[in-house]
Structure 1
Amino acid sequence: MPDPRFFRRLPPVALADLVGDWGEVARGGGRMISGVAPLASAGADDLAFLSDRKLAGRLADTAAGAVVVNADMVDHAPPSAAVVVSRFPQALWARASGRLCAPVQLDSAAEVVEAAQDDSVVVEPGVVLGRGVRIGRGTRIGANSVIGPGVQIGRGCSIGAHVTLGFALVGDGVRILSGARIGEAGFGAAASPVGPIDVPQLGRVILQDHVTVGANTCIDRGAFDDTVIGEGTKIDNLVQIGHNCRIGRFCLMAAHTGVSGSVIVGDGVMFGGRAGVGDHITIGDGARIAAGAGVLADVPAGETWSGYPAKPIRQSLREAVWLAKQASGKQRGRAD
């Protein structure tokens, strides 16, 4: 279930009422559904979906009360689950989520004395604090920042001006510079009969102790799992980190780095400026990604990769030198 500090559960709905004209109930249309979840973590009252046939094994093992699948996957669903057949499993699931849970809105503001641990907390002019916010001693919140409902901020933190911070748990000694956007919805869309629709983003952002987040950097909350930034990691200005990413401890990210969703980064990894990482990539401990590199494959621990698509740096440099020689030879041939 999504964290109740950030999401509220709505009344249960009969499965048949969730389906509408985007699918057809194969069995169990009267089952009451109270939540949505991935196949791996869904419970008896949850709706899950399968859109990738490569994950058929997870479908067979799920404990979900109901599943949405393509027609050719019905026989793989567990006997205990109600089944919905649809050409658009993820979209139907996404639409259903809106009827079963909703983000807690900033409908009213909390008093500083209610949110602050003690008098050492400084809240500058124009700050808005949502209900349920908690701020540890010695923390300072910059002018005109908005701290969303339920956010927990540790001790000795520094939050700059014009920061928005929502759906987040923040450790001790964290620095967030001006204009950063933490906990906004990640980018995800699913094909539906009416065109692409947004996929719900029901996770959180967790910033562990002594993380630094640069000015105007964006860190998206998870789609269902959490986006996690490990202890002591330092992130430069204008960096984008997508939903469900797990960044290890003591990493360094230079400006304009972009990390797509569901990337796993080990401890002590370094990113040069304007490095880019494709989704669902794993980067091992101590790896180094050169400036401007485009990572489209897993990077082993301790290696340095560069170029586009990124490769081990020696291979990348050899290819660059060979290409330069070929280009130079063709130019000389024209001159002759």
Structure 2
Amino acid sequence: MGRGPDARFFERLPSLTVGALAERIGGEILRGGDRTVSAVAPLPTASEGDVAFLGDRRFLPALAESGAGCVIVPASALEAVPAGAAVIVSPEAQAAWARASLLFHRPIPLSASLTVEQAAEDDSVVVEPGVILGDGVRIGRGSRIGANTVIGPGVQIGRDCVIGSNVTVGFALIGDRVRLLSGARIGEPGFGAAGSRGGPIDVPQLGRVILQDGVSVGANTCIDRGAYDDTVIGENTKIDNLVMIGHNCVIGRNCLLAANTGLSGSVTVGDGVMFGGKAGVGDHLSIGEAARVAAGAGVLQDIPAGETWSGYPAKPLRQFLREAVWLAKQASGKARAGKAGND
């Protein structure tokens, strides 16, 4: 089995037989009802005790190669199910998998608060009034936690960090010399919903946030935890105020993200990338190393390394400027023609 949800943040609930699971999530057992399963996982990393699902036929090759002990699939995908897997058939496979997630994994609640002495590496740690430290929190030497901040259970904070007031941090591992300005929200659940007959349901978010050494996060910025894997912010990356980073994003080292930038889920960003203010990036895209995304750009396709893109939809800068000049000339010509016709 793969890493699975981190035990510092998620409680593992009792195992179930596939038959009992099917009854509780709404599905028809095709085979393997007496097999025992104890966790959920994506198709590529699932193993014998895990439940995986197929939500899109694009992932049929991953289904055929999966080591999952049980798979939840629509009837149309049965031909790709591995011979050794137990099978639950459901027309809403992702929603059924989301229900299964709730049966196997539960976020550890903030039910107790540690003292500074219990959480801190030594007496150089400063914790201002009103701070809440969940069970299992560890804070490295020389770090300071601002007033009324909440650090959730299991969070690990490195040395010489500065965390502002009214910050919330959960499901996160934080390196050394990290700065989180006031109101930052680290580790909230990512936006994920699955369709069902009763309407969309939330997909549990079982991953973490990793902030590497030297990262800065601006005021009121939100960084969602991963859906199953991790959201990762690379070393020395600087993030402005009011930035939104979706679940499963992986951002490289030494990147700059200006205010109001928004990255959808599962975006991969290389080292040294720069985003201007209000830049937006669609999900599952890749931004190459040292690329630049202009302010207000709307990125709907991958950007190669070293290129500068602008506009909506974003295009290479020279192409965008040529098209802008051409449009301006067309508009100017029509305006002159209309004026001449009125004379």
State the TM-score bracket (shorter-chain normalisation): over 0.9
What does residue 55 of structure 1 align with? 59
Structure 1 runs of 4+ off > 4 angstroms? Answer: none
Mapped partners of 2:121, 2:30: distance in 1: 53
Matches within 5 A, 1:92-111: 92-111=96-115
Mapped partners of 2:30, 2:336: distance in 1: 70
Mapped partners of 2:94, 2:260: distance in 1: 31
Secondary structure of the corresponding residue to residue 302 of structure 2: coil
The answer to whether residue 246 in structure 2 is matched with residue 226 in structure 1 is no
How far residue 22 of structure 1 moved from its aligned partner, in angstroms, is: 3.0
The answer to whether residue 44 in structure 2 is matched with residue 45 in structure 1 is no
Secondary structure of the corresponding residue to residue 113 of structure 1: helix
1:90 maps to amino acid: Q
Mapped partners of 2:301, 2:79: distance in 1: 34
The answer to whether residue 322 in structure 2 is matched with residue 297 in structure 1 is no
Cα deviations across residues 67-103 of structure 1 (Å, max 9, x unaligned)?
Answer: 0111121121111110111111100000111011100
Mapped partners of 1:322, 1:17: distance in 2: 64
Mapped partners of 1:29, 1:322: distance in 2: 65
Cα deviations across residues 266-306 of structure 1 (Å, max 9, x unaligned)?
Answer: 00000000000000000000000000000000000000000
What does residue 11 of structure 2 align with? 8
Mapped partners of 1:22, 1:333: distance in 2: 66
What does residue 30 of structure 1 align with? 34
What does residue 274 of structure 1 align with? 278
Q: Answer yes or no: is the 8 Å Cα contact 1:22–1:193 preserved in 2.
A: no
1:123 pairs with 119, 127, 132, which one?
127
How far residue 19 of structure 1 moved from its aligned partner, in angstroms, is: 2.2
Mapped partners of 1:2, 1:80: distance in 2: 25
Cα deviations across residues 307-333 of structure 1 (Å, max 9, x unaligned)?
Answer: 000000000011111111111111112
How far residue 335 of structure 1 moved from its aligned partner, in angstroms, is: 1.1
Secondary structure of the corresponding residue to residue 39 of structure 1: coil
Q: Answer yes or no: is the 8 Å Cα contact 1:22–1:88 preserved in 2.
A: no
Mapped partners of 1:5, 1:249: distance in 2: 26
What does residue 202 of structure 1 align with? 206
- Percent sequence identity is 68
Mapped partners of 1:123, 1:166: distance in 2: 17
After TM superposition, the score normalised by the length of structure 1 is 0.99
Aligned residues: 336
Q: Answer yes or no: is the 8 Å Cα contact 1:212–1:235 preserved in 2.
A: yes
Secondary structure of the corresponding residue to residue 178 of structure 1: coil
Mapped partners of 1:148, 1:59: distance in 2: 36
How far residue 112 of structure 1 moved from its aligned partner, in angstroms, is: 1.2
The answer to whether residue 153 in structure 2 is matched with residue 155 in structure 1 is no
1:300 maps to amino acid: P
The answer to whether residue 168 in structure 2 is matched with residue 172 in structure 1 is no
Mapped partners of 2:21, 2:245: distance in 1: 33
How far residue 43 of structure 1 moved from its aligned partner, in angstroms, is: 1.4
Matches within 5 A, 1:123-142: 123-142=127-146
1:74 pairs with 53, 75, 78, which one?
78
Unaligned runs of 5+ in 2: none
Mapped partners of 1:286, 1:18: distance in 2: 47
How far residue 17 of structure 1 moved from its aligned partner, in angstroms, is: 2.3
What does residue 19 of structure 1 align with? 22
Unaligned runs of 5+ in 1: none
Secondary structure of the corresponding residue to residue 124 of structure 2: coil
CA-based RMSD of the aligned residues comes to 0.8
Mapped partners of 1:83, 1:201: distance in 2: 24
Mapped partners of 2:21, 2:300: distance in 1: 38
Secondary structure of the corresponding residue to residue 29 of structure 2: strand
Mapped partners of 1:237, 1:129: distance in 2: 25
Cα deviations across residues 204-232 of structure 1 (Å, max 9, x unaligned)?
Answer: 00000000000000000000000000000
What does residue 322 of structure 2 align with? 318
